[in-house]
Amino acid sequence: MYPLFVARLALFATHLLTLVCSSDSDTLREKLRIIPNELCSMPYGSFRVNIYEHANNKLEAANPNDKKYVYAPIALLDHKSAVRCIDNVRKQAEVRFRIEMWNEKVENEVAKYVSKIVGHQVNDHQVQVIPFDKVILTSTMPSTAFYLTTHWLPYQLQKSLQFSLLCFERKVCDQLAVEMRSNPEQFGYFKLFFGLASQVSQTKDITIRIANVISGQMVQNLLQQFDEQVFLTANDEKRLLTDTTTNILIDTLEDSDMVSSISESEIYNTVKEMLSVTTVKEKNNQMWEWVFWNDDNYRPDKMSYTLNKTFKKLDAEAQRNMSELYQNFSVVGSEGEANFLELISTTASVKSEFTRHGCTSNEDLANFYRESKDYVEWDGDKFVPKLLTLSKINLTQCRDKNPLQDRGIRVRYSTAVLSAPINFVQHADVTITDEWHNLRLLVANVTRELNETRANLTSELQARTSRMETIDKIPTSCADLRRIGHIKSGLFLVMGNEMVETVYCNFTKPDDSGFQKWIGYTDVKSAPCYFYVQRNYGFDQTETPIPFDREVLNVGGAMNLTSGIFTAARTGKYFFSFTGLAFLPGHSSSRAYFNVVLYKESDLIKDYVGRGYSDENNIEDRGYETFSLQSILHLQARDNIWLQINGMSHGVYLSGGAYTHFNGWKLEEEISQSL
């Protein structure tokens, strides 16, 4: 609620955590059962972490694995988390930021460090942060820009807590948030107080001396600037009383004492009475000379005056718009600002009026609009300052002091069990471990990497496709491959004259000369072709293709057993073999013979390829005679191949019974012809 800065700058020379006094040591001993003399102080980044032992560790029966060690919160400021917010409950601008109390890394290091000190293994679970119940952020240096609340925050051993600075003005908070993010060490005068729920508060009678009240910086400023009296806005009144209250507390309480909120507001109100601050609601033009305003340009009467003057320079429509802008309170924020800027910028003489007022940039004009909306209104035909509730202080009284009385007051306060200066991430080893933050970073990293990968791939693809041509044929060389976009050297298949060929393309060679190395033919067949057929029965017809009746294998179906004709499906080289058994009878005295011919028919031209022949003159030697015929042929697609008996003597026949075999297969295909 109201501020408090508990201070003793001189005491704050070291970044060591300090246990504050003997009575607190008692609290530690009694309530937490901690041995108050620290066991050790572990270096951690640019500061140290104090480590204490649990009293039970000293018991005779204590097992090393049950011993407990506690360490002081690290109080590490996460300066990057500082943001300016508006607390909508208190209607107050504030700077919010996080302070880290502990993390797994510290815990782990404490365990390791204690292990070394005590000479036996100490596990993570034997170590924890001191179990305080409450915490409060204080400052050892008073500030007129911000204040801190005097309410304790419950602390349930969270890894980190949010704290805030409260500002009298929003723009001050904006500035402070930036400062904290960019130069956190300036806030080195912050301290954390830790306490226990069971602690009883103490009381102390103090005297508020009028001399102390008047010696405050803001009162002194007012005494210099104004003569008999001064009027303050509610905000400035609060600033003055807060500032004074803080000074009084710094003067009367010990460094580690925390005043209760109620006592603090009692002091605040007492100071208000002592200064005989009275509230007035006045509308009187002379009064403005007595009003304290941080920046004179924003004094309501001066803003009204400028608005009035510029209003007269606008045309009727713009005038209507401008007056509406000040009546329509619903038009807030950026929309109102934008409308205002537009109205000003359309008329040059209006703009120069604002320049005279000290508003040169659009930023100034937007500020002017924001401030003027709070303090100026349209009364129907002109702009007038709003009726303000102001506080009046009689400065004459302050000067001669006599009528003013010192006042005694009883304050209630509690003493922190531990006071710790806040620490900063000044060392590479010390990092803030905010899981959410890390996760966000990780996601951002992954997204960035994906983006980069995508960008890389896109540019690579573009680089390739920009070089890529369409050649509208099957590539026949490395040069063709390069033209259609291949860039990685290796073995490739290209179309040769008849067959597919394998080539090695060395694309690292700058030009097309000599970058193709011929490797060999590639045996590619559009379909397999193998057959093996037999005759089971004898055959004695001449001048007709020999049919077959047993199909052992006929892959591709090129062999027609019924007709005895093999038809080449594709152009290429084929192998055929024919072996058989002819029966030459012994009843005739004349020569017995058997003549078989392999025919090829291409484009209806029938020609024989080769012949097989058996004969026998001697009757005694007649009987079965074998013959055979092998050939390799180049066939065009649709060429026919068959065997036929072209001549034989009477009674001769081709034997069946699986003694007659016809085989064939495609050796290689002229694949270029097949496409």
Ligand X SMILES: *[C@@H]1O[C@H](CO)[C@@H](O)[C@H](O)[C@H]1NC(C)=O
- Using the rule CB under 6 A, is 199 a contact of ligand X? no
Task: Fill in the DSSP letter of residue 423.
Answer: B
By the 8 A CB rule, do 193 and 259 touch? no
Q: Is 312 helix (H, G, I), strand (E, B) or coil?
A: helix
CA–CA dist 179, 171 (Å, integer): 12
Min dist. Cβ of residue 161 to ligand X (A): 23
Q: Residue written as tokens 């119940």?
A: 133
Kindly indicate which of the ranges 10-18, 102-110, 260-268, 451-459 contains the residues binding ligand X, using the contact rule CB under 6 A: 451-459
Min dist. Cβ of residue 446 to ligand X (A): 8
C-beta of 251 vs 335, nearer to ligand X:
335
Min dist. Cβ of residue 642 to ligand X (A): 11
Q: Rounded to a whole number, what is the distance in angstroms from the first to the last CA of the chain? A: 90
Q: Which of 451, 541, 542, 626 binds ligand X (CB under 6 A)?
A: 451
- Using the rule CB under 6 A, is 462 a contact of ligand X? no
CA–CA dist 347, 426 (Å, integer): 53
Helices assigned H by DSSP within 407-517: 435-467, 478-483
Q: Is 542 helix (H, G, I), strand (E, B) or coil?
A: strand
Residues between 228 and 257 that touch ligand X (CB under 6 A): 228-229
Helix (H) or strand (E) holding 387: none
Kindly indicate which of the ranges 172-180, 291-299, 300-308, 616-624 contains the residues binding ligand X, using the contact rule CB under 6 A: 300-308
CA–CA dist 89, 107 (Å, integer): 37
By the 8 A CB rule, do 177 and 84 touch? yes
C-beta of 262 vs 442, nearer to ligand X:
442
Q: Which residue is nearest to ligand X (CB)?
A: 308
- Using the rule CB under 6 A, is 549 a contact of ligand X? no
- Using the rule CB under 6 A, is 442 a contact of ligand X? yes
Residues binding ligand X: number (CB under 6 A): 42
Cβ–Cβ contacts within 10 Å for residue 300, how many? 22
Min dist. Cβ of residue 373 to ligand X (A): 13
Min dist. Cβ of residue 658 to ligand X (A): 21
Instruction: Kindly give the pairing relationship between strand 559-560 and strand 640-648.
Output: unpaired
C-beta of 202 vs 506, nearer to ligand X:
506
Strand partners, 128: 70
Q: Is the dihedral of CA 404, 406, 409, 411 positive or negative?
A: positive
Strand partners, 193: 136, 419
The 8 Å CB, 24+ separation contacts for 508-516 are: 512/478, 512/479, 512/482, 515/478, 516/477, 516/478, 516/479
Q: How far is CA 230 from CA 4, 300, 401, in A?
A: 26, 16, 16
Q: Which of 227, 452, 523, 540 binds ligand X (CB under 6 A)?
A: 452
Residues between 555 and 584 that touch ligand X (CB under 6 A): 560, 562-563
C-beta of 73 vs 385, nearer to ligand X:
385
Residues between 395 and 414 that touch ligand X (CB under 6 A): 396-397, 400, 403
Min dist. Cβ of residue 460 to ligand X (A): 9
- Using the rule CB under 6 A, is 328 a contact of ligand X? yes
- Using the rule CB under 6 A, is 321 a contact of ligand X? yes
C-beta of 290 vs 613, nearer to ligand X:
290
Helix (H) or strand (E) holding 176: helix 170-182
Cβ–Cβ contacts within 10 Å for residue 55, how many? 17
Query: Which residue from 156, 155, 137 is spatially nearest to 146, judged by alpha carbons?
Result: 137
Q: Which of 41, 92, 143, 308 binds ligand X (CB under 6 A)?
A: 308
- Using the rule CB under 6 A, is 541 a contact of ligand X? no
What character string, x for contact with ligand X (CB under 6 A) and - otherwise, covers 368-387?
--------------x-x---
Kindly indicate which of the ranges 105-113, 135-143, 303-311, 585-593 contains the residues binding ligand X, using the contact rule CB under 6 A: 303-311
Min dist. Cβ of residue 79 to ligand X (A): 18
Q: What angle do CA 471, 476, 479 make, to 5 degrees?
A: 70
Kindly indicate which of the ranges 246-254, 286-294, 389-397, 420-428 contains the residues binding ligand X, using the contact rule CB under 6 A: 389-397
Min dist. Cβ of residue 670 to ligand X (A): 23
Amino acid residing at 636: Q
- Using the rule CB under 6 A, is 638 a contact of ligand X? no
C-beta of 198 vs 396, nearer to ligand X:
396
C-beta of 79 vs 84, nearer to ligand X:
79
Amino acid residing at 591: R
What character string, x for contact with ligand X (CB under 6 A) and - otherwise, covers 333-362?
------x--xx--x----------------
21: Cβ contacts below 8 Å, ≥ 6 apart: 256, 415
Q: Residue written as tokens 């295909």?
A: 669
Q: Which of 60, 205, 296, 317 binds ligand X (CB under 6 A)?
A: 317
CA–CA dist 502, 519 (Å, integer): 5
C-beta of 46 vs 506, nearer to ligand X:
506
CA–CA dist 392, 233 (Å, integer): 9
- Using the rule CB under 6 A, is 433 a contact of ligand X? no
The residues of the shown chain that bind ligand X, judged by CB under 6 A, are: 228-229, 304-305, 308-309, 317-318, 321, 324-325, 328, 331, 339, 342-343, 346, 382, 384, 394, 396-397, 400, 403, 438, 441-442, 444-445, 447-449, 451-453, 456, 506, 508-509, 560, 562-563
